[in-house]
Structure 1
Amino acid sequence: MRAQRQPSSSAAPSEPRHARPPRRLAVLAALLKSLPVLLVWGIVLAALAAPLLRMQGDPTSREIYGLLGGICHQLPTRSLFLGDARLGLCARCMALYGGMALSVALGLLARARPLPGWLLVAGLIPCLLDGLSANHGLWKSDTALKLLSGAIAGSTIALFCHPRYCRMIDSLVFRLDRPTPRPLGDAP
């Protein structure tokens, strides 16, 4: 019968590689991971709320349009309408942020792995080609193409960035759980 080897008492107990952080840190990590989800969903919902508020005569719609004007040109000729009121984002931006919102939420639920860089580039090319060629008069882009290229770009950006962001949050939270090493020379 073979005797089991006992670790020496001088050896420090090793930590498990993937130890779970305390519950409060896990909650902090979950909250931090959900911030981008809340941000992009907030943008999408604000873009939808602006025309609804405008149709009811609510002056808050002006403020929402003003805020969204910082991230979108909001040209009426390139926008979608709800009734006779323009959405808070143009068609391409609406699809871009909508694609981000759905992809980030689904990616968070499925714990998606990050897309490789070449797929990010591939996902951005249709949107860039459509936008640049339309701006330079090579062709007139229709709404369906704007929606499709925007949704592809938004989904690609979200699936490239958000899993990396989640990994960063996990590594920071895991570091918070570890004791801080003492500088050399300090006596206990």
Structure 2
Amino acid sequence: METNRRRVRLVWYGLLAITSGVLALAMLPPVLSAPLQAVVRDGFAPVCHQMPARSLHVGGVPVALCDRCTGIYVGLVLGVAGTGWGSDLWGMLGAYGRYVFLGAIVPVGLDWAGPLLHLWENGPASRILTGLLFGIVAASYVTIRLLRRKARASGAGGPK
């Protein structure tokens, strides 16, 4: 039984290491040489537009993600790290949890659509915060489901 719990914990540690590593990699361009900056930015280009005007800058050099994606990636790390705290909530929601997960994309969509439709302007704070909300909810939801599946498969019981 202890071995099974250890396996579940290892999955959690692995998810935390992966999300933290990807976030750290995205933040590296300001401390890299120009050729390495290009390699990192190219790696993130398929998932982020990386517009310099909408990206965090360190020492005048933009990171490899825009504001919203930075919020999402930070949220992914926080969501995985805080999985245990949200497990009771996801347990209470049961099958309805997927609607909370899908609902977390609504603020991101509104923040994106407002300026596009000339209804309002958004800024770095709204982009980061809406991304952060989505990242936390998405990572928590997916991590709890993965850990529960691993726990059932190994007979460990897993997070509540």
State the TM-score, normalized to the length of structure 1. Answer: 0.70
How many residues in Structure 1 have an aligned counterpart in Structure 2?
A: 150
In structure 2, give the amino acid aligned to 1:52: V
The equivalent position to 1:32 in structure 2, one of 3, 8, 11, is 11
Mapped pair 1:112 → 2:87 = yes
The equivalent position to 2:124 in structure 1, one of 137, 143, 166, is 143
State the TM-score, normalized to the length of structure 2. Answer: 0.81
In structure 1, what is the equivalent of residue 154 of structure 2? 173
In structure 2, what is the equivalent of residue 103 of structure 1? 79
RMSD between superposed Cα atoms in Å: 2.2
Query: Where in structure 1 do 4 or more consecutive aligned residues deviate above 4 Å?
Result: none
CA apart distance, 1:168 = 0.8
Helix, strand or coil at the partner of 1:43: helix
The equivalent position to 2:63 in structure 1, one of 87, 103, 110, is 87
Bigger CA radius of gyration: 1
**What does the per-residue CA deviation read over 1:62-119, in whole Å, with 9 as the maximum and x for residues that have no partner?**
21111111221111121111111001110000011101101211224x4723262332
Work out whether residues 124 and 156 of structure 1, in 8 Å CA contact, stay in contact via their aligned partners in 2: no
Helix, strand or coil at the partner of 1:88: strand
Relative contact order (C-alpha < 8 Å, sep 6+): which is higher?
2
Q: Percent identity?
A: 24
Counterpart-to-counterpart distance in 2, 1:134 and 1:172: 47
Helix, strand or coil at the partner of 1:100: helix
Helix, strand or coil at the partner of 1:112: helix
**What does the per-residue CA deviation read over 1:128-177, in whole Å, with 9 as the maximum and x for residues that have no partner?**
111123334433211111111111111111122111111011112239xx
Mapped pair 1:158 → 2:134 = no
Helix, strand or coil at the partner of 2:121: coil
